[in-house]
Homo-oligomer: A and B are copies of this chain.
Amino acid sequence: MKYIVYAYCQIMFMELKKNKIVLMGAGNVATHLGLALQEKGFSIVQVYSRTFTSAERLGNLLQTNYTNELQAVYPDADIYIFSVKDAVLSSVLGELPALSGLLIHTAGSLPLDAFAGCSQRFGVLYPLQTFGKNRKISFENIPVFIEANNPSDEQLLEEIASVISNKVFRLTSEKRKFLHLAAVFACNFTNHLYAQAAEIMEEQDLPWELLLPLVQETADKIKDLHPREAQTGPAVRYDENVINRHLELLNKEVEKQTIYLLLSQSIHRKK
């Protein structure tokens, strides 16, 4: 029995990997996703980017065809993965020749129906991660959220996503919006606070890297504890002496001062 299941899975896998994929975009998401898919045996048959050098770079990296002309995009691929800036997607779609394949995008902030009217078959594959240039990221632990406008493509996307990630979920556009919003808080805003902390250090000629063990432990802590429970510092006990002294230290930096006060009050209200 075990062998039959195994053989069946192998065949399904082989079928799945016959899907010819075109990457529409050559930025960080396209690069990481393209590499992860290719590593698992999928065929990336082409890379398109408006910028020739970007198309060339990723095309070379994946050893595949590349182009910066929409008219040269292969019309007969099975899946087109759009990883372009949100604002660019609609203009690219408007200029594309008709495609019969499955069109998907990778944006947290765009709804499924960004493709409506352009195609019969469309979907979303949203990896919840921040992708940096030149950073090696293992896709396996990245939560991937999928959605499609028809059940068979949703099934197909789920199967493909499951090859590269262990955490694949079906999610509606409505919920994905909030997921993306939460990610902005947990990643973009957090990083900005790192930058502000680094600035405060640098203004005192202190190496900002001294903060790294603290940053790491702050992130580690919430693996065991809900962040609400993990809160420490002067704001949670609203230690006005410390808070006022800190506000005074920031007296020439109105922006940091405003952020300090707003976040301290917000922490205290949540207590």
Contact pattern, A 209-229, Cβ under 8 Å of B = 1, otherwise 0 = 011111111110111111110
In the bound complex, residues from chain B placing their C-beta under 8 Å from that of A235 are 184, 188, 192
A183 at interface (Cβ–Cβ under 8 A)?
yes
**Is A2 at the interface (CB under 8 A from chain B)?**
no
- Which chain B positions have C-beta within 8 A of A35? none
Which of A128, A200, A239, A269: most chain B CB closer than 10 A? A200
- Residues of chain B within 8 A of A120, CB atoms compared: none
**Interface residue A92 (Cβ < 8 Å from any Cβ of B):** no
Please give, as numbers and ranges, the residues of chain B lying within 8 Å of A201 by CB-CB distance: 178-179, 182
- The answer to whether A130 touches B181 (Cβ under 8 A) is no
The residue of chain B having its C-beta at the shortest distance from the C-beta of A231 within the complex is B191
Copies in the complex: 2
Check if B195 sits within 8 Å of A182, measured CB to CB.
no
Report B-chain residues with C-beta under 8 Å of the C-beta of A270: 192, 195
A11 within 8 A of B: no
Whether the pair B225, A132 counts as a contact (CB closer than 8 A) is yes
Q: Top 10 closest A-B pairs, CB basis?
A: A188-B233, A194-B227, A186-B197, A185-B197, A195-B227, A219-B219, A182-B200, A182-B197, A178-B204, A187-B218
* 15 residue pairs bridging A and B, Cβ less than 8 Å apart: A109-B242, A130-B232, A135-B221, A178-B200, A181-B250, A182-B208, A183-B197, A185-B193, A187-B215, A188-B231, A188-B232, A195-B226, A195-B227, A255-B266, A255-B269
